[in-house]
């Protein structure tokens, strides 16, 4: 080993050891660290140097200044957004994959890696109930998965001339990445029709049907419906069978945004809550949300792989030598990226070691904890449940039957969540449901305990009632 590389190896060993020790003690760390002004000032003053600097100095800057300020979404008391459930196994897979740096876009460059990602895609397609001929691609996240699927929907269902008249339906609870993706692929806000949800935050399919029929009468061209299995706010699952019937009747594409909830397919107890997902044309599914992966691990699946090929395949002359054959379908034919990392390998490593049953238990644990939290909140005076536990998410608020105005209630809930987060004990965010600010807990971390939940709720209660 040459001296320079030996030094790199030494620091990587040091980092590995520190990381494992850090994770061993994670529950005692503040979820959101305090970031001192001096640290921010130091980082703001950094520039790209003309001449290289000492590796040890740069390494220490990473540890002390750059990483020390990061909120720990993988902390067992991170309940905000969609917390990270990352396993150290995924991190190990990440480290190993990045070290080898496979160009995972075509068979020729990394045949075994290509094979592994295809096995995973096939396995996920079969969990979703997709038929022969289905397929997909690992992408960086749910946003890109949604964009990729909706591009295929557009190209399958619309001619170029029909695009200005096209309409796509989402619910009032659909994730914002869907509208973002639709804008990127050329649709305006006017072409995205938002359907209200029922009391369980599920798309109102009577309204959907009425809207589709009205739009057809008005000379528009409905082409797609985006359903969700596990909305970000409440974990609600849209009525998939009814949406599929409407899509069939009017020749529309049915996309399911399962970025958050599709992992529930792994659970023997909760998988059936996603029944009907098998009827969709495409599905987004983030392994970096509920399948213990570090970020950048998601799949887009389609029931007919050719539809992705039709949208994305290109055969430039400089890639001809890399194609296994002129007819071969490579990963670069299935999505927007050419060069891509082997995002599936860390998932492979994790699944090989844990097994899919264990992953199912992770889902069950998250769902059980949300139900436990709901029951505990129900015993607290002055609190009300706004959305009951569903796929690991529960929403509630402090709303005492006093003369408090709505504004005051919103402020109290918001401030309590912010104060708790600031304390470092847990990270909790509010969201808005039924016109109210509500406190949202997403309880999916596999190492979160019932005590973490009761202590978090007790602290919120104290803050609300102070
Ligand atoms: C339902 C849903 N869809 C899409 C996304 C976007 O996924 P990503 O952040 O991986 O791009 C999220 C993120 O939380 C989500 O909850």
Cα of 261 to ligand 1 centre, how many Å?
10
Instruction: Give me the long-range contacts of 62-70 (CB less than 8 A, separation at least 24).
Output: 63/15, 63/18, 65/39, 68/33, 68/35, 68/39, 69/33, 69/35, 69/39, 69/40, 70/33
Ligand 1 pocket check for 82: Cβ under 6 Å: yes
421 in a domain, yes or no?
yes
Nearest Cα residue to atom 5 of ligand 1: 142
Domain that holds residue 260: 102-344
Alpha carbon distances (Å) from 143 to 117, 133, 388 = 20, 24, 26
Ligand 1 pocket check for 202: Cβ under 6 Å: no
pTM of the entire structure?
0.97
350 in a domain, yes or no?
no
Which strand (E) or helix (H) includes residue 347?
Answer: helix 344-354
Cα of 205 to ligand 1 centre, how many Å?
23
Question: Residues near 207 by Cβ (< 8 Å), separated by ≥ 6?
Answer: 195, 196
Question: Residues near 461 by Cβ (< 8 Å), separated by ≥ 6?
Answer: 380, 383, 398
Q: Which ligand 1 atom sits nearest the alpha carbon of residue 142?
A: 7
Task: Report pLDDT for 403.
Answer: 82
Half-sphere exposure of 190 (CA within 13 A, CB side): 7
Cα of 264 to ligand 1 centre, how many Å?
15
Task: Report pLDDT for 166.
Answer: 98
Ligand 1 pocket check for 238: Cβ under 6 Å: no
| Residue 29, number of CB atoms within 10 A of its CB | 14
- Phi and psi of 396, rounded to 5°? -150, 170
Coil, strand or helix at 243 = helix
Task: Indicate if the pLDDT at residue 1 is higher than 90.
Answer: no
Average pLDDT on 214-231 reads: 98
Q: Is 421 left (phi over 0), alpha (psi -120 to 50) or beta?
A: alpha
Q: Is the dihedral of CA 54, 59, 60, 66 positive or negative?
A: positive
Probe target for ligand 1 pocket from 230, 260, 290, 300, with the most ligand atoms within 8 Å of CB = 260
Domain-ending residue, one of 344, 365, 392:
344
Q: For 335-371, how does the pLDDT look when each residue is reduced to its tens digit (9 = 90+)? A: 999 999 999 999 999 999 999 999 999 999 999 999 9
Alpha carbon distances (Å) from 138 to 76, 182, 315, 319 = 27, 20, 20, 21
Reference 334, options 105, 156, 131; nearest CA is 105
Average pLDDT on 389-414 reads: 94
Instruction: Say if residue 68 is in the same domain as residue 206.
Output: no
Domain-ending residue, one of 290, 314, 344:
344
Ligand 1 pocket check for 259: Cβ under 6 Å: yes
Taking the C-alpha atoms of residue 75 and residue 448, their distance in angstroms, rounded to an integer, is 8
Cα of 260 to ligand 1 centre, how many Å?
6
Ligand 1 pocket check for 175: Cβ under 6 Å: yes
Ligand 1 pocket check for 141: Cβ under 6 Å: yes
Average pLDDT on 398-418 reads: 94
Cα of 58 to ligand 1 centre, how many Å?
33
Cα of 72 to ligand 1 centre, how many Å?
18
107 in a domain, yes or no?
yes
Ligand 1 pocket check for 142: Cβ under 6 Å: yes
Q: Which ligand 1 atom sits nearest the alpha carbon of residue 232?
A: 16
What's the chain's Rg over C-alpha atoms?
24
* DSSP bridge partners of 352: none
The total domain count for the chain is 2
Instruction: Say if residue 186 is in the same domain as residue 318.
Output: yes
Task: Report pLDDT for 282.
Answer: 99
Share of the chain above pLDDT 90, in %: 97
Task: Report pLDDT for 151.
Answer: 98
Q: For 90-145, how does the pLDDT look when each residue is reduced to its tens digit (9 = 90+)? A: 999 999 999 999 999 999 999 999 999 999 999 999 999 999 999 999 999 999 99
| Residue 429, number of CB atoms within 10 A of its CB | 15
Task: Report pLDDT for 327.
Answer: 84
7 in a domain, yes or no?
no
Instruction: Say if residue 95 is in the same domain as residue 146.
Output: no
Taking the C-alpha atoms of residue 321 and residue 330, their distance in angstroms, rounded to an integer, is 13
Q: Which ligand 1 atom sits nearest the alpha carbon of residue 295?
A: 10
Q: For 293-329, how does the pLDDT look when each residue is reduced to its tens digit (9 = 90+)? A: 999 999 999 999 999 999 999 999 999 999 878 788 9
Cα of 425 to ligand 1 centre, how many Å?
25
> What one-character DSSP code corresponds to residue 396?
E
Alpha carbon distances (Å) from 130 to 149, 218, 415, 429 = 15, 34, 45, 36
Question: Which parts of 311-427 are beta strand (E)?
Answer: 383-390, 393-398
Cα of 283 to ligand 1 centre, how many Å?
12
Cα of 17 to ligand 1 centre, how many Å?
32
> What one-character DSSP code corresponds to residue 444?
-
1 in a domain, yes or no?
no
Coil, strand or helix at 173 = coil
Instruction: Say if residue 57 is in the same domain as residue 136.
Output: no
Coil, strand or helix at 433 = strand
Task: Report pLDDT for 324.
Answer: 78
Q: Which ligand 1 atom sits nearest the alpha carbon of residue 146?
A: 4
Instruction: Say if residue 364 is in the same domain as residue 335.
Output: no
Task: Assign residue 81 the CATH number of its domain.
Answer: 3.90.1150.170
Ligand 1 pocket check for 233: Cβ under 6 Å: no
Domain-ending residue, one of 300, 316, 344:
344
- In angstroms, the first-to-last Cα distance of the chain is 62
Ligand 1 pocket check for 147: Cβ under 6 Å: no
Q: For 177-205, how does the pLDDT look when each residue is reduced to its tens digit (9 = 90+)? A: 999 999 999 999 999 999 999 999 999 99
Instruction: Say if residue 107 is in the same domain as residue 94.
Output: no
Q: Which ligand 1 atom sits nearest the alpha carbon of residue 228?
A: 1
Cα of 177 to ligand 1 centre, how many Å?
7
Instruction: Say if residue 432 is in the same domain as residue 456.
Output: yes
Q: How many angstroms separate the most distant Cα atoms in the chain?
A: 75
Task: Report pLDDT for 51.
Answer: 98
Q: Say if strands 298-302 and 135-139 run parallel, antiparallel, or are unpaired.
A: antiparallel
463 in a domain, yes or no?
yes
Nearest Cα residue to atom 4 of ligand 1: 142
5 in a domain, yes or no?
no
- DSSP structure string for 63-127: IIIISTT---TTSTTB-SSS-----HHHHHHHHHHHHH---TTSTTT-HHHHHHHHHHHHHHHHH
Average pLDDT on 443-449 reads: 98
Q: Which ligand 1 atom sits nearest the alpha carbon of residue 174?
A: 1
Task: Assign residue 128 the CATH number of its domain.
Answer: 3.40.640.10
Task: Indicate if the pLDDT at residue 24 is higher than 90.
Answer: yes
Instruction: Say if residue 61 is in the same domain as residue 118.
Output: no
**Span of 162-176, 269-283, 318-332, 357-371 with lowest mean pLDDT:** 318-332
Reference 251, options 325, 326, 174, 156; nearest CA is 156
Q: For 133-154, how does the pLDDT look when each residue is reduced to its tens digit (9 = 90+)? A: 999 999 999 999 999 999 999 9
Ligand 1 pocket check for 290: Cβ under 6 Å: no
194 in a domain, yes or no?
yes
Ligand 1 pocket check for 397: Cβ under 6 Å: no
């Amino acid at each position: 080993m040459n001296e320079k590389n030996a030094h790199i190896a030494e620091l990587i060993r040091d980092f590995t050891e520190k990381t494992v020790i850090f994770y061993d003690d994670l529950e005692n760390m503040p979820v959101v660290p305090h970031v001192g002004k001096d640290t921010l000032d130091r980082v703001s003053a950094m520039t790209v140097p003309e001449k290289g600097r000492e590796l040890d100095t740069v390494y220490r800057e990473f540890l002390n200044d750059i990483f020390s300020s990061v909120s720990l979404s993988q902390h067992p008391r991170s309940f905000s957004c969609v917390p990270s459930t990352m396993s150290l196994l995924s991190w190990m897979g990440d480290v190993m994959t990045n070290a080898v740096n496979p160009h995972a876009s075509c068979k020729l460059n990394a045949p075994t890696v290509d094979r592994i990602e295809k096995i995973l895609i096939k396995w996920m397609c079969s969990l979703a109930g997709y038929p022969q001929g289905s397929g997909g691609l690992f992408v960086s996240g749910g946003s890109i998965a949604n964009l990729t699927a909706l591009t295929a929907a557009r190209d399958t269902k619309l001619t170029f001339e029909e695009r200005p008249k096209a309409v796509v339906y989402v619910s009032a609870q659909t994730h914002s990445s869907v509208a973002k993706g639709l804008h990127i692929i050329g649709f305006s806000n006017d072409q995205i029709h938002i359907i209200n949800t029922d009391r369980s935050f599920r798309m109102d399919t009577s309204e959907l049907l009425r809207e589709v029929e009205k739009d057809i009468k008005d000379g528009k061209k409905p082409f797609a419906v985006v359903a969700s299995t596990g909305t970000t706010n409440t974990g609600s699952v849209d009525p998939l069978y009814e949406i599929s019937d409407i899509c069939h009747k009017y020749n529309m594409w049915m996309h399911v945004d399962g970025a958050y909830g599709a992992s529930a397919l792994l659970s023997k107890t909760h998988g059936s809550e996603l029944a009907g997902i098998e009827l969709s044309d495409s599905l987004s599914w983030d392994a970096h949300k509920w399948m213990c992966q570090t970020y950048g691990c998601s799949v887009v699946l389609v029931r007919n792989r050719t539809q992705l090929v039709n949208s994305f395949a290109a055969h430039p002359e400089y890639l001809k030598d890399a194609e296994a054959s002129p007819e071969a379908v490579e990963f670069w034919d299935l999505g927007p990226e050419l060069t891509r990392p082997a995002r599936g390998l860390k998932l492979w490593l994790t699944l090989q070691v844990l097994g899919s049953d264990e992953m199912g238990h992770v889902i069950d644990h998250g769902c059980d904890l949300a139900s436990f939290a709901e029951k505990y909140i129900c015993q607290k005076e002055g609190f009300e449940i706004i959305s009951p536990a569903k796929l690991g998410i529960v929403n509630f608020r402090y709303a005492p039957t006093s003369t408090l105005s709505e504004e005051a209630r919103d402020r109290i809930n918001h401030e309590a969540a912010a104060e708790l987060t600031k304390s470092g004990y847990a990270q909790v965010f509010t969201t808005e449901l039924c016109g109210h600010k509500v406190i949202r807990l997403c309880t999916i971390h596999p190492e979160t305990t019932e005590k973490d939940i009761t202590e978090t709720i007790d602290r919120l209660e104290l803050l609300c009632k102070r």
